[in-house]
Structure formats: structure tokens, C-alpha cells
Amino acid sequence: MPYNTAVTKKSDVIVIGGGAAGLMCAIEAGWRGRSVMVLDHAPKLGRKIAISGGGRCNFTNLHATSENYFSEQREFCKSALARYRPRDFIGLIEKHHVPYHEKKLGQLFCDDTADRVVNLLLEESREAQVQIRLNCRVQSVRKGVDFQIETSLGDFSCDSLVVATGGLSFPKLGASDLGHRIARQFNLNLTEIRPGLVPLTLSKEALEHYGQLSGLSLPSTVRHAGRSFSENILFTHRGLSGPAILQISSCLSGGEDSVEIDLLPGRDAAAWLLEHHAEPIDLASLLSRCLPRRFAEVWCGMNAPVSAVNRCKSRQLREIGAMLNHWRLPIRGTEGFTKAEVTMGGVDTRELSSKTMESRGIPGLYFIGEVVDVTGWLGGFNFQWAWASGHAAGQFV
């Protein structure tokens, strides 16, 4: 694709950011006959798409609804998600003959590489006559009769400006706060910005005991603040990760806190222990029937250093069972934006139209994707928000 050549300085629409949301918006606007230019600081488009899903791109989730998103305004994402559904993006995938499969829980992945998704977006951009400028760093944005964008490749102007710059996650790929700065410049409010879908860290004391379990994974249900997620947790040399932990991390404030872990989900641990009350074995050996032996030994050493099960009192077993179903583990914090998959918070949705994604106070200024205070669960939901919000804006710019 002949990027960076024969590019006009004035466009109907300029999109800052060539990721999932930005390209979707550009494509939709281009098909409407609008002249569209995408500006991106990177030498190659879609780098975050390319590394997503372990390189296979979890491009949507069949079950995506507004219930799968965090936002101070929970209802905001309903409109865009209703007008561009997972089936719509699947249609695009099938149009370009990209083989895919459902992994679990409605999560759809490419059969081969995520580059297939990037390539279909580039092909759609080409057909929609979208112009793209790479290695283009935005230095300032001004609003007069139209928007004036000063960049490292010269000055550009447009009637409609779309900010699709993403968040602060994946700083190695060049993530920045550009979108947040543009919002502040135009006096738009921002909600609290913090890492989301991120591994959690434990205190030094807890790591002395549980750090030795690094690499061990086990199914569980993790709870916090009325939310619960049932998938694997993974012990790391710094704390906890795995799907259930990444999910619950988005519910935490980011500082010291705690999570509740059900180590025997779907089972009344106290009743199960009492069923085996007569067995003359140590507790770790009994628990190793349901949990990894290494974990059972460490957990019992920290939480239930008791003698043989048949020597325990019924009250003791009930208390241990309660701990197994409601293990409270203190959290020191998170591993930050360097390990976060998404950014929580962003442009306050009260500042935007849920139908068009346009600023209520600045006509012609749009914010889409991760830069907005809408964050999905793990499992393809954030890509679906990118497609849906990009599509919504693309219909009106």
C-alpha cells in the first residue's frame, strides 16, 4: 500500500491513531465518501492487534453486551454495541476468508496469525480510499474554523477530528497519553486512569511463602466488590496472574487491597472435609486430591497447620473449609501499565454522545476506543468496543 505519498493536506476527517478503533472509523467514513487520513506515530499499523491473543488476535466475543464493560456510565456503551455486533465483525472476517475458531466462553481467535486481521483492515482501508501517514508524530492540535494538526511530517487540517490514540498500556509499542492531553486541552473531563487486566503483586511477606509456587496454575473463583470471575489463577514471582486475576484486577482501585479466592469452586469445602473426617491422613494429602500437591502443602503450612484429619474437631474442619471457599489474600498493588492489557478510565463518557462519540462541547471532535472510559473484560470484549465505537463515529464524521 503506497502510504505517505500523494497525500492532501486538507481532509474531511483525520483520525489520530491507526489501531483497531481508528482504522474501523476511517474505513466506515471512507465508504461514506468522506476524504479520510489516518495519522500514526508508528512505522507499521496495528502493532497492538498483531501481538494480541498470543499472536492470534482474540478479535471479538460472541457474548459481548454492555454487561461486560466497566465505565462510570455503565449505559454509555449500549448504543454503539447494539449497532455493531460481534456478528458484524465476523462477517468482515469471513469476507476476507480469515479462518477462525471459538476457543472458550465465546472467545474468537484467528486460526493462524493476528496479521490476518491487520491485513483485512488495511485492505478495507485501501478500498475505502483512506490515506495513511506513518511515522507521523502529532505535536499540537488547534481548533479554528477547522482543526489544525501540527505533526513531524507537516501541518494538516480537517473538519472532523477523531482521537483514537489508545491508552497507556504496552508502552514498549509507543503508548502515550496524547489522547488524554488532547481531551484536557479542550477542557473535557477525564475519569481516573489506571492499569486494567493486569497482574497483581503481593507483599514481601506473602511472596516469601507463595513466591515458591511461581508457574503453578489452578482453577478458582476470584471475588472483589461484588464481582466474581471463574477461571485459572497463576502464581508468579511477583504475585498473581492468570485469567481470573486479570479480570478481577479491573475491579481494584490500584493500591493496597485484597481479593477473595474460592480454591474449590462449586464445592462446599467444609462438607467435603467432613465427609473425609475419619481418614488418618494429613490435610495436605487430602487436599491434593483436588488441588496441586505443592500448593496444598504451602497453603496448609500457612493457613491450616493441623494434625491428621481424623484428629481434627468438626469445628476445625468447618473453619478450614470456610477458608478454602473464602481465602482472603492481601494485594500490594499491580504490575502497572508495562504489563497491563488495557487502560481503565479515560475521557469521561458524560462528555460524549453515545450515538456518535462526538464531544458534546466541541463540534467535530470525536473520541473512540481505549482512550474513552469504557473497558471490557478479558476475552475479546475490548476489540468489540474498538470496532463498535469506531463504527459509530465513522457513521457521523
Other beta carbons within 10 Å of 322: 13
Share in percent of the chain as helix, strand, coil (round to 5): 35, 25, 40
Q: Are residues 224 and 253 in the same domain?
A: yes
190 and 237 inside one domain:
no
Give dist(CA 251, CA 196) in Å, integer. 8
The CATH code of the domain that includes 43 is 3.50.50.60
Continuous H helices in the chain: 20-31, 47-55, 78-83, 86-95, 115-127, 178-185, 204-210, 243-249, 269-275, 283-287, 293-303, 314-325, 381-394
Do 254 and 304 lie in one domain? The reply is yes
Report whether 201 contacts 239 (CB < 8 A): yes
With a cut of 60, say whether residue 337 has pLDDT above it: yes
- Residue 4 counted as domain residue: no
User: For residue range 178-198, what is the model confidence (pLDDT) as tens digits?
Assistant: 999 999 999 999 999 999 999
- The Cα–Cα gap between 367 and 347 comes to 8
CATH label of the domain that carries residue 269: 2.40.30.10
Residue 343, SS3 per DSSP: strand
Instruction: Answer yes or no: is 5 within a domain.
Output: no
Q: What's the CA gap between 30 and 45, in Å, rounded?
A: 18
**pLDDT at site 39:** 98
Amino acid at 100: Y
Average pLDDT over residues 114-126: 97
Does any domain span residue 120? yes
What's the pLDDT at 8? Answer: 53
| 230, 281 Cβ separation under 8 angstroms | no
User: What pLDDT does 7 receive?
Assistant: 46
* Exposed e or buried b per residue across 336-366, where buried means at least 16 C-beta atoms within 10 angstroms of its C-beta: bbebbbbbbbbbbbebbbeebbbbeebebbb
Give the residue-averaged pLDDT of 23-29. Answer: 98
Question: Rounded to whole angstroms, what are the CA distances from 356 to 158, 189, 360, 366, 389?
Answer: 18, 18, 10, 8, 8
Q: What is the pLDDT of residue 306?
A: 77
On whether residue 305 sits in a domain, the answer given is yes
39 and 161 share one domain: yes
What pLDDT does 9 receive? 84
Look at residue 3 and tell me if it is in a domain.
no
Q: Give per-residue pLDDT as tens, 61-100.
A: 999 999 999 999 999 999 999 999 999 999 999 999 999 9
Check whether residue 348 and residue 317 sit in a common domain: no
Query: Where a domain ends, among 316, 334, 352?
Result: 334
pLDDT digits (tens, 9 = 90+) for 252-268: 987 778 999 999 999 99
Tell which of 334, 359, 376 closes a domain.
334
pLDDT at 253: 80
Cell output for 190: 477525564
Q: How many domains does the chain have?
A: 2
The domain of 295 spans 200-334
pLDDT value, residue 6? 42
Domain boundary among 308, 334, 360: 334
pLDDT in tens, 139-159: 999 999 999 999 999 999 999
Residue 2 domain-assigned (yes or no): no
Residue 182 cell numbers, joined: 488532547
Quote the pLDDT of residue 3.
Answer: 45
Establish if 141 belongs to a structural domain.
yes
Cell of 278: 475419619
Please indicate, yes or no, whether residues 289 and 376 belong to a single structural domain of this protein: no
* Residue 269 binned pLDDT confidence (cut-offs 50, 70, 90): very high
The owner of cell 477462525 is 100
Q: How many CA atoms lie within 13 A of 232 on its CB side?
A: 11
Predicted pLDDT of residue 4: 44
Check whether residue 216 and residue 317 sit in a common domain.
yes
* The pLDDT of residue 1: 39
What pLDDT band is residue 5 in, cutting at 50, 70 and 90?
very low
> Both 35 and 184 in a single domain?
yes
- Together in a domain, 170 and 281: no
Say whether both 313 and 381 belong to one domain: no
Domain assignment present for residue 379? The answer is yes
Residue indicated by cell numbers 469504557: 374
Does one domain contain both 97 and 19?
Answer: yes
Provide the strand spans (E) within 311-387.
327-331, 333-334, 342-344, 365-367, 375-376
Say yes or no: 42 and 161 in one domain: yes
Q: What is the pTM of this model?
A: 0.94
